[in-house]
Each structure stands twice: as structure tokens, then as C-alpha cells.
């Protein structure tokens, strides 16, 4: 037989340093205020016990907490509030042992009914768990992930125009071809080249040349669908991936883009600068790889430039056979 006597559970709970324990009655008067709560609130148990909890902590969300406690008392069920939903219940300072940037202690809070010896609910117990360390670790992880994603995005973008770069194009065209074949939808690729761009740089300088590239990118992007992918392929050449578009409609779209660029002008010290573009379009068929589709679009682009520039040409095997 164990002669050590009964365990003093109330004293153990009151002395806890790792979990906050608050017990309130039906009128929200404090019945228990343990050591954790004393240390973090700077209010002694004898100062708080017997008083309404909202008198000491006006920052508490009274409507929310009263509703939670009343629900607990009436329904006799427990409830839980995560720091992710509500960062804190009591506005305590974080532990000095933590070197993070948090202004307050993140907390998980639980509320459950307290019964008397006859099984009647007399109040509610609120437990507070300090989750600041976990919250800060997750925030740091999220920040690191965001930075990694931002860096990855920068690696996929052209610094001047903000368009996707050649590396991204090489990845995307392969994925778009796989999707087109899987879902049996059409796909077109347009290669776009600014006509006589070297003359712009020679006559107006590279600053104006850069402005032309940037203006052209903005103009084209403003006329495309969200599913289209415009990339700076290199220098003054751009690649445009057009999913779910028929050969006829791709020709109509590129002709509209060509006219828009022809009407565009960039201001320079010597007066407005105007440029035109040449375009080559190729449509996907069952036998083409990504590299072959690019070659076909390039050959069509060559025909546009060879035919006088400022025009749109669709790839044709018959025409290529004659020219070669």
C-alpha cells in the first residue's frame, strides 16, 4: 500500500511554468491564475483572483472570448484556437530567450469546462501554450521560401523587358507541346524580330534601343491572352508560345500585333522613333519536336525578312522546299 499521501494536483497546476492556466467562473471572475500567467502578465495571483478578467486585460477580444466561454459552459464542449487563426489571446511579451523579431508571444489557446464534485459545470479553464518559437521558425521558413521563389523568378526573367528569358522558353515550349498532345489542342509558335534594330542603336544610342525593346514588350503583352507566353529569345528577337489557337487565328493575332508595333513610337531627343517587326509562325503537328518547331518558326521568320520585312509569314513545307 502506498503511504505517501495524495498528490497535490492544484498546487502542481498553479506552479506550472510552461503552460498558462486560467480558470474563470460563469461571471468571468478569475478563480485560478497560475505561475506562468503571473510571470508573463506581471500580475500576481492574489491580485487577479476574484476579479473580472476583462478588468485586468482590456486588450482581450471580449466579444469573441465571452462567446467561446459561454459556448463551453452551455454545450459542455472544449474549443481550440491556433496562433495561425488568432496570434494571441493575452498580449504577452515573447520570452527573452528567443532572439526573434516577434513583438508578442504567439499562443495556442484551449477552453474547456470545469466541473464541481457533483458534475455540474461551474466555470471554464483557459490554457495558454507559448508557440512563439514554432511561429518564428515557420515565418523564417516562409520568408526563405519566398526569397528562393523570388530568386528563381529573377532567373527566369529578362532584366530589361521583364519578359521570360530564353532558359524559361526552352522549358516552357517542351511542356506546352506535351500538354497540346495530351489534350489534343492546337499550338503555335511565333518568332518575332525587330526590323533594322541595329540602325536604332547606331542612330539613337543604346538607351533609346532599350526603350524600344521595353516598349515593344509592353505593347505585345497588353494584347495577349493570359495563357500565352512571351519571351525575349535573344537580342531583338522574341518568341511567343500560343496554346489552343488554330493556324488561321494565330495568323490573325500576329497581324494585329504587327500593326500595333508599327503604330507604336518611342520618344527620343531626335524625335519619335518608330519600328516594325517581322514574324514567322509555325504550328505543331504530331511529328515535330520542340527544336523542330523552333526551326520552322525561324524559317518562316527568315521568309518575312527576305520578303521585305514588316510582315507575318506562316511556315509552309512547300515554300521551304522551293527556296532550298
Instruction: Give the pairing type, strands 312-314 and 277-283.
Output: parallel
- The answer to whether 252 touches 297, Cβ cutoff 8 Å, is no
Question: Looking at residues 63-87, what average pLDDT do you find?
Answer: 92
- The answer to whether 299 touches 276, Cβ cutoff 8 Å, is no
pLDDT-derived band at 287 (thresholds 50, 70, 90) equals confident
Cα separation, 92 vs 285, whole angstroms: 65
Find residue 168's DSSP bridge partners. Answer: none
CA torsion through residues 10, 14, 20, 22, sign: positive
For 230-277, write each residue's pLDDT tens digit: 999 999 999 999 999 999 999 999 999 999 999 999 987 778 899 999
Cα separation, 147 vs 23, whole angstroms: 44
Higher pLDDT, 301 or 99: 301
For 133-146, write each residue's pLDDT tens digit: 999 888 888 888 88
Decide if 133 is catalytic: no
pLDDT-derived band at 294 (thresholds 50, 70, 90) equals very high
For 44-67, write each residue's pLDDT tens digit: 999 999 999 999 888 899 999 999
**Confidence check: pLDDT of 155 > 50:** yes
Those residues whose C-beta lies under 8 Å from the C-beta of residue 98, and which sit 6 or more positions away, are: 132, 133, 136
Q: Could you give all domains of the chain from N- to C-terminal order, each with its CATH number?
A: 9-138 (3.30.450.20), 156-323 (3.30.70.270)
Catalytic-labelled residue, pool 46, 66, 176, 236: 236
| 0.95 exceeded by pTM | no
- One DSSP character per residue, 73-113 reads HHH---EEE-TTTSS-SS-PPPPTT--S--SS--EEEEEEE
For 191-242, write each residue's pLDDT tens digit: 999 999 999 999 999 999 999 999 999 999 999 999 999 999 999 999 999 9
For 119-135, write each residue's pLDDT tens digit: 999 999 999 999 999 99
Amino acid at each position: 500500500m502506498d503511504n505517501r499521501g495524495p498528490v497535490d494536483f492544484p498546487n502542481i497546476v498553479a506552479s506550472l511554468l510552461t503552460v498558462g492556466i486560467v480558470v474563470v467562473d460563469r461571471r468571468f471572475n478569475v478563480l485560478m491564475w497560475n505561475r506562468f500567467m503571473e510571470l508573463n502578465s506581471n500580475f500576481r495571483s492574489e491580485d487577479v483572483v476574484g476579479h473580472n478578467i476583462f478588468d485586468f486585460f482590456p486588450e482581450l477580444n471580449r466579444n469573441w472570448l465571452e462567446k467561446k466561454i459561454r459556448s463551453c459552459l452551455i454545450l459542455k464542449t472544449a474549443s481550440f484556437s491556433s496562433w495561425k487563426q488568432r496570434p494571441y489571446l493575452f498580449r504577452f511579451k515573447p520570452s527573452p530567450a528567443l532572439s526573434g523579431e516577434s513583438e508578442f508571444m504567439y499562443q495556442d489557446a484551449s477552453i474547456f469546462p470545469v466541473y464541481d464534485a457533483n458534475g455540474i459545470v461551474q466555470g471554464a479553464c483557459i490554457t495558454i501554450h507559448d508557440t512563439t518559437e514554432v511561429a518564428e521558425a515557420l515565418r523564417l521558413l516562409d520568408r526563405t521560401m519566398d526569397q528562393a521563389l523570388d530568386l528563381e523568378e529573377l532567373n527566369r526573367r529578362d532584366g530589361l523587358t521583364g519578359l521570360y528569358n530564353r532558359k524559361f522558353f526552352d522549358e516552357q515550349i517542351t511542356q506546352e507541346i506535351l500538354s497540346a498532345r495530351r489534350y489534343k489542342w492546337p499550338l503555335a509558335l511565333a518568332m518575332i524580330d525587330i526590323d533594322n534594330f541595329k540602325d536604332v542603336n547606331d542612330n539613337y544610342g543604346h538607351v533609346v534601343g532599350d526603350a524600344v525593346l521595353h516598349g515593344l514588350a509592353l505593347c505585345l503583352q497588353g494584347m495577349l491572352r493570359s495563357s500565352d507566353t512571351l519571351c525575349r529569345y535573344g537580342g531583338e528577337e522574341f518568341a511567343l508560345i500560343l496554346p489552343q489557337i488554330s493556324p488561321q487565328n494565330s495568323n490573325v493575332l500576329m497581324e494585329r500585333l504587327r500593326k500595333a508595333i508599327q503604330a507604336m513610337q518611342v520618344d527620343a531627343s531626335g524625335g519619335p522613333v518608330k519600328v516594325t517587326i517581322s514574324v514567322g509562325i509555325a504550328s505543331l503537328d504530331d511529328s515535330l519536336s520542340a527544336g523542330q518547331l523552333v526551326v520552322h518558326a525561324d524559317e518562316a521568320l527568315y521568309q518575312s525578312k527576305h520578303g521585305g520585312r514588316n510582315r507575318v509569314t506562316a511556315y509552309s513545307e512547300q515554300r521551304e522546299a522551293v527556296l532550298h
